[in-house]
Structure 1
Amino acid sequence: MMTDLFSSFDPSLIQTSSNTQSLNTLLIWLANLIPIFAIQSFLWIAPTRTSQILSVPMTIMNDQMSRTLGKSIKGMTSIISPLFLFLILTNWTGLIPYVLPASSHLLFTLSFGLPLWLALMISSAKNSISSFTAALLPEGAPDWLNPFLTLAETISIMVRPATLSFRLAANMSAGHIVLALMGSYIISLLLIQNISLFIILMPAHMGYILFEVAMGMIQAFIFCLLLSMYSEDHSH
């Protein structure tokens, strides 16, 4: 018996045979290894068709980084561009049945958002501590308002990794929960032989799958875009 909605993605809680449970568990592990296997194509000397396709999102993120001050931070572009590709592939693994993408877990998203944000903060303070602290106070503010503005700006900077990670995890979880509910409802219509309503809802379900494909790319882009925008506050 499933305890909550997230349990529908856990094959160990589904009442099936032991062989089917083992197969579903193996499928989950293989699905989460897909991004790693896909990125391995870049290790070939001659570019393959797969590597050429995978290089498109990295080129897009390289262009985005070139429009920000993050391009002057050593190694920033080399981290954000592969991360963009990795998040896209990770988000798409959720389209596999009974697989909840790793990016829907807060621990996974925090493992990327928190270290990168902290690295930017440490690098900025090490580069110029005066510029780093001066950025906490907006220009042209009245003197009596300075303590409150400094406190508000400090809080907004401190919550950045949490909001960054929560946004990706929440959006990916919500999207795939809706996808699972639609799939369950359509299957129930087929079982009760309600063919007319099944024919009506099936195109909507297929359209939502395409929407989730686009959403996986958009959420990965927003995650990396915000990181590139955070680099704008880096002291130079």
Structure 2
Amino acid sequence: MMNLFSSFDPTSNFNLSLNWSSALIGLLMIPSFYWMIPSRLNMLWLKIIITLHKEFKIIMNKNSQGGTLIFISLFTFIMMNNFIGLFPYIFTSTSHMTMTLSMALPLWLSFMLYGWFNYTMHMLAHSVPQGTPGILMPFMVCIETISNIIRPGTLAIRLSANMIAGHLLLTLLGNTGSSLTLIMINILLIIQVLLLLLESAVSIIQAYVFVVLSALYSSETN
């Protein structure tokens, strides 16, 4: 198992740890014609941003002028890192809890501090769902408190686990290629291509899920 997970271990070249530079390498991959407004790529990206802005504005349930920019930027950053991790020999930063927890924990902590300092009574009332019998209220407070505390952990684990799972499946299937016949290798290649397409979809979906849940958590603090 150590060899299987070694593909996720940080490495160093020329005594320089360049692993986390993969988080910014996407900026170098943006084609130059993207900045030539109105290019097709630029218009497509603007349409995606406007769609995300409208959706996050509904989720946040308030006048979020400029507030949705945080979540759109986070979505772009996570999706870019997820896609870059699909390339061979490139360090997948979002498969490490160091990266995912450093994104989830500050967001959750800022929402909690803002909510408890400005809407204390609302946050206390949120600990007990409406219509809860009086005898169950202490238990509901404990359950709601625990579920609230583990939110950043679930966000971080969900993202990193989904990134690791797909990469491990591709690695396991790829390692069996040397012991297969020619026909089975062709079938394996087709399966690998289909899995790669699935991982591309997962890269977008997991970035979207991470950001939407963060927006939902922020909407509960007002």
TM-score bracket for the superposition, by shorter chain length? 0.7 to 0.9
Match of 2:73 among 66, 82, 88: 82
Q: TM-score, normalised by structure 1?
A: 0.81
Match of 2:97 among 101, 106, 127: 106
User: How many residue pairs were aligned?
Assistant: 220
- Spell out, residue by residue over 1:70-115, the C-alpha distance to the aligned partner (whole angstroms, 9 max, x if none): 5535653110001101111100111111224100000100111011
Match of 2:120 among 101, 123, 129: 129
CA contact (8 A) 2:57 2:64 kept: no
Give the superposed CA RMSD: 2.9
Letter in 2 for 1:66: K
1:153/1:91 CA distance change after superposition, 3 Å: same
Check if 1:4 corresponds to 2:7. Answer: no
* Distance (Å, rounded) in 1 between the aligned partners of 2:60 and 2:52: 14
* Distance (Å, rounded) in 2 between the aligned partners of 1:119 and 1:183: 43
- Structure 2, unmatched stretches of 5+, are none
* Distance (Å, rounded) in 1 between the aligned partners of 2:87 and 2:102: 23
1:112/1:157 CA distance change after superposition, 3 Å: same
* Distance (Å, rounded) in 1 between the aligned partners of 2:195 and 2:167: 10
Q: Percent identity?
A: 37
1:77/1:11 CA distance change after superposition, 3 Å: closer
- Spell out, residue by residue over 1:15-49, the C-alpha distance to the aligned partner (whole angstroms, 9 max, x if none): xxxxxx66xx86x56643223435797x9584544
Question: 4+ residue stretches of structure 1 with deviation over 6 A?
Answer: none
What residue in structure 2 maps to residue 17 of structure 1? none
Q: TM-score, normalised by structure 2?
A: 0.85
1:60/1:172 CA distance change after superposition, 3 Å: farther
Match of 2:193 among 206, 214, 236: 206
